[in-house]
Amino acid sequence: MNDKPTPEDLRASGCSAEQIKQFSECRCAEEKLRLLRRQRKKLLDSIHEQEEQISNLDYLAHEISKDGQQRNQ
């Protein structure tokens, strides 16, 4: 990646076409950084949501396993 992200760089970072358009219309570095931080937060929020879903699945699997072991005793 170079000093100025290309549309391909932004797409690879999960930015939508609308976000790429907004980024290209920004005049100052501060505004561009704000948009990048917003996208970063969006991605982190998604990761955290998926982590919670994985934890829920692990809990359900544990409960099923525990129930199966109790029945076998």
Kindly state the average pLDDT of the residues 63-71.
85
pTM metric for this prediction: 0.77
C-alpha to C-alpha distances, 6 to 12, 24, 70, nearest whole angstrom: 10, 9, 58
- State the pLDDT at residue 2: 55
For residue 16, give the 3-state DSSP assignment.
Answer: coil
Tokens 């561009």: give the residue. Answer: 32
Query: For 17-26, what is each residue's pLDDT tens digit?
Result: 999 999 999 9
Identity at 59, one-letter amino acid code: Y
Domain residue ranges of the chain, discontinuous segments joined by +: 7-71
